[in-house]
Structure 1
């Protein structure tokens, strides 16, 4: 997938929110698959100098569970997991996010996909920090 513009992200510490947008030169259906399919997530989620996702499992339906596992740049294993709250292919995906290093904090990630002339505008909103 080709990125059409430079990804933009804003962190609002006082609101506990991260907001990021990017336009990708493929249709929303393909982007939705990239953010939900077990075989696709390890292809893009992470960077070797920080962490790399090596396994992703997903029951992509409201109430279904997801889990990602990988290794940090220091070689330490990690995992994050959650539950799908809303699944509206190919336009919207909402899921909880639980990371063991973040105590009991449960956050929410919302992906919004919008068809645009040159592909898909993907907006990610991560709330609850």
Structure 2
């Protein structure tokens, strides 16, 4: 990275097993239900992965490489806008850590190596909380959240 970097960490507790959470991240047919995107890969270290929008065109929006896979406890991958995939400075890293806690699990998502001044750094601060809240709702109730909801006018 050629500029200053920043990171974003989000921790949530979900009434689900680590296996269910790991599947919700890595199985496109599940991720589409709460994220509107599927994460597509064979999930082996060194493999490519794509974040594919669930639309008629199946638009690839985010790409990266799987760095580490230890189901169901840990997944590490690089992350870049598809349009910046040729620029090494356009990549950041996402780490999912899942730990069992009695009848629930703690999910920690760390998105780091972000260029401080990038659009990605600004977007993930809003994106991860709503996506992970939607995942939690989906796993606990069977229904995700409206990801594109806006605040009600006063």
Same fold (TM over 0.5): yes
Query: Is 2:94 the counterpart of 1:109?
Result: yes
Q: Confirm or deny: 8 A CA contact 2:26 2:40 kept in the other structure.
A: no
Q: Distance in 1 between matches of 2:103 and 2:17?
A: 9
Q: Distance in 2 between matches of 1:120 and 1:126?
A: 19
Equivalent residue number for residue 19 of structure 1: 9
Equivalent residue number for residue 61 of structure 1: 44
Structure (1/2) with the larger strand percentage: 1
Equivalent residue number for residue 71 of structure 2: 89
Q: Which runs of 5+ in 1 are unaligned?
A: 1-13, 46-51
- How many residue pairs get aligned? The number is 105
Please, which of 57, 60, 80 is the counterpart of residue 98 of structure 1? 80
Q: Confirm or deny: 8 A CA contact 1:70 1:78 kept in the other structure.
A: yes
Q: Confirm or deny: 8 A CA contact 1:38 1:58 kept in the other structure.
A: no
> What does 1:36-51 correspond to in 2, within 5 Å?
36-45=26-35
Q: Which runs of 5+ in 2 are unaligned?
A: 115-154
Question: 1:16 is paired with a residue of what secondary structure?
Answer: strand
- TM-score where L is the length of structure 1: 0.72
Q: Confirm or deny: 8 A CA contact 1:71 1:78 kept in the other structure.
A: no
Equivalent residue number for residue 6 of structure 1: none
Equivalent residue number for residue 5 of structure 1: none
Q: Distance in 2 between matches of 1:58 and 1:98?
A: 15
Query: By how many angstroms is 1:78 displaced?
Result: 5.6
Question: 1:33 is paired with a residue of what secondary structure?
Answer: helix
Alpha-carbon spacing, 1:40–1:71, altered in 2? closer, same or farther (3 Å): closer
Question: 1:31 is paired with a residue of what secondary structure?
Answer: helix
Structural RMSD (CA): 2.1
- TM-score where L is the length of structure 2: 0.61
